[in-house]
């Protein structure tokens, strides 16, 4: 059982490394999806690079969005800074990957935010 788990982990790391080595292009913005786990509200959030939006009690800043070169509808990588509104507590800071949301997920009791895609216009 441990061997199978180690093999699966190794294959996952190889797949992640090959994804990370793809040539990418910068996008002008991103589409994120936000979920309020208490009331079940789901919202798609479109924002340009460098801007901040408020999603309920969170402030979400998009620092960068990248996608595979020549494939704008391909896997999106978004650099995000997410803080609690009014408190300034950093909830998430880093890269989220659309095809692997659990790889670098935001850990919050009430909200989930994940990347859907980059926008190019």
For the chain, the domain total comes to 1
What tens digit of pLDDT does each residue of 71-88 get?
877 799 999 999 999 888
What tens digit of pLDDT does each residue of 29-62 get?
999 999 999 999 999 999 999 999 999 999 999 9
| Cα 87 to Cα 48: distance, rounded to the nearest angstrom | 24
pTM: 0.79
Q: Which long-range contacts (CB under 8 A, 24 or more apart) does 80-88 make?
A: 80/32, 80/113, 80/115, 82/58, 82/106, 82/113, 83/58, 83/59, 84/57, 84/58, 84/59, 85/54, 85/57, 85/58, 85/59, 86/57
Q: What confidence score (pLDDT) does residue 41 get? A: 96
Q: Mean of the pLDDT values across residues 89-117?
A: 94
Q: Identify whether 17 is part of a domain.
A: no
Q: Identify whether 20 is part of a domain.
A: no
Domain that holds residue 75: 25-119
Give me the chain's average pLDDT, please: 86
Is residue 96 scored above 60 in pLDDT? Answer: yes
Q: What confidence score (pLDDT) does residue 72 get? A: 74
Q: Identify whether 59 is part of a domain.
A: yes
Q: Identify whether 2 is part of a domain.
A: no
Sign, CA dihedral 16-18-20-24, equals negative
């Amino acid at each position: 059982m441990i061997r199978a788990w180690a093999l699966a982990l190794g294959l996952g790391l190889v797949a992640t490394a090959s994804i990370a080595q793809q040539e990418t292009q910068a996008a002008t913005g991103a589409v994120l999806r936000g979920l309020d786990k208490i009331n079940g509200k789901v919202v798609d959030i479109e924002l340009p690079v460098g801007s901040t939006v408020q999603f309920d009690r969170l402030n979400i800043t998009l620092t960068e969005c990248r996608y595979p070169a020549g494939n704008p509808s391909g896997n999106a990588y978004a650099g995000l800074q997410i803080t609690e509104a009014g408190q300034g507590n950093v909830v998430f800071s880093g890269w989220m990957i659309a095809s692997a949301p659990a790889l670098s997920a935001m850990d919050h009791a009430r909200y989930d935010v994940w990347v859907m895609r980059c926008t190019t216009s």
